């Protein structure tokens, strides 16, 4: 099966390189629809209190979706929702709708951008600078997302530089890491995640305003989701890496959130895991009531603790 998986992945990757970016989602779906996913052989620790000391964090990445009308409805739904108070909530609209969302959404929810340029603005066609994002009222930016890595072609070093610049200008960073299916099946999950973490660690002067988002690429937009045990295993390893390579203080206070087909049905079970400090949500964040349910899954962690 592994040989077949590798061949299928390579074939689809070759196809992706010759297609427009709009085909990227179908690329990932095609790769994974015919594949089975390994389950973790390690059992859960059985402890469900938060290992980190940070506040539960839920971000909604709206990606390249929405119109003025649909976003107005989504914002209205979120404004009407009853949200648990002890959760930091962030939404990341497409760039062209940031101002609309900022001017209409409740102050309870902060605004993130989905990307930013590596330095000051200037003659960089199509890019958005950190300074422009701050001018619109953004507090956060998502950097290192798998679609930026594997579709656009951003590498670890470039992502690290972008992160350092955003932090230096006062934006918080949702720093994404995660492995491809091929890498998971080859037993390289930790190696890949640690390599990506090291690129962040080598570039940033401080971890004070960073949230780490673990998003296994094989679970993004595919309907496949890591089991709670699989996600917990990686989150615990990431926290241990921070403890050994940065500091115990950073390991404790840095929030490590999970992304990859999170929805209202699975968020409560995922939230119970000790090292899962929240979520980065894609498609489900485009539905106000469902996103509210995911935000309120913090109650599962509180009950379990």
CA distance 89 to 108: 7
Residue 240 corresponds to which tokens in the numbers above?
């241990």
Q: Which one of the listed residues 147, 179, 185, 215 is annotated catalytic? A: 215
Q: Is 64 helix (H, G, I), strand (E, B) or coil?
A: coil
The kind and range of the H/E element at 147 are helix 146-147
CA distance 78 to 73: 9
Going along 18-61, which residue ranges are E strands? Answer: 56-61
Residue 84 corresponds to which tokens in the numbers above?
């648990």
Count of other CB atoms within 10 angstroms of residue 184: 22
The kind and range of the H/E element at 243 are helix 228-245
Whose tokens are 């956060």? That residue is 140
235 is known as an active-site residue: no
Contacts of 205 (CB under 8 A, 6+ apart): 164, 167, 168
The kind and range of the H/E element at 90 are strand 87-92
215 is known as an active-site residue: yes
**Do residues 111 and 137 make contact, with C-beta atoms less than 8 angstroms apart?**
yes
The kind and range of the H/E element at 245 are helix 228-245
CA distance 139 to 80: 22
Q: Is 137 helix (H, G, I), strand (E, B) or coil?
A: coil
Positions marked active-site: 145, 215
């Amino acid at each position: 099966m592994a040989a077949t998986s590798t061949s299928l992945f390579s074939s689809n990757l070759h196809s992706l390189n010759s297609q427009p970016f709009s085909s990227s989602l179908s690329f990932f779906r095609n790769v994974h629809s015919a594949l089975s996913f390994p389950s973790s052989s390690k059992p859960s620790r059985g402890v469900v209190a938060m290992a980190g000391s940070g506040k539960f964090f839920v971000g909604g990445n709206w990606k390249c979706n929405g119109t003025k009308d649909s976003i107005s409805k989504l914002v209205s739904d979120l404004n009407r929702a009853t949200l648990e108070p002890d959760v930091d909530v962030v939404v990341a609209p497409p760039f062209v709708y940031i101002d609309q969302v900022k001017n209409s959404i409740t102050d309870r929810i902060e605004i993130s951008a989905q990307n930013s340029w590596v330095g000051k603005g200037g003659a960089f066609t199509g890019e958005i600078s950190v300074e422009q994002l701050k001018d619109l009222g953004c507090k956060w930016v998502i950097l290192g997302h798998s679609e930026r890595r594997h579709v656009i072609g951003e590498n670890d070093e470039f992502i690290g530089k972008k992160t350092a610049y955003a932090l230096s200008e006062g934006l918080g960073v949702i720093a994404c890491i995660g492995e491809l299916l091929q890498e998971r099946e080859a037993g390289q999950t930790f190696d890949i995640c640690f390599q990506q973490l090291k690129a962040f660690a080598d570039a940033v002067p401080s971890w004070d305003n960073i949230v780490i988002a673990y998003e296994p690429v094989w679970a993004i937009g595919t309907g496949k989701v890591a089991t709670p045990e699989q996600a917990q295993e990686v989150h615990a390893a990431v926290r241990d890496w921070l403890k050994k390579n940065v500091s115990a203080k950073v390991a404790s206070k840095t929030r490590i959130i999970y992304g990859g087909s999170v929805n209202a049905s699975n968020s409560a079970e995922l939230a119970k895991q000790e090292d899962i400090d929240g979520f980065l949500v894609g498609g489900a964040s485009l539905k106000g009531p469902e996103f509210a349910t995911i935000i309120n899954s913090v109650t599962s962690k509180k009950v379990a603790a």
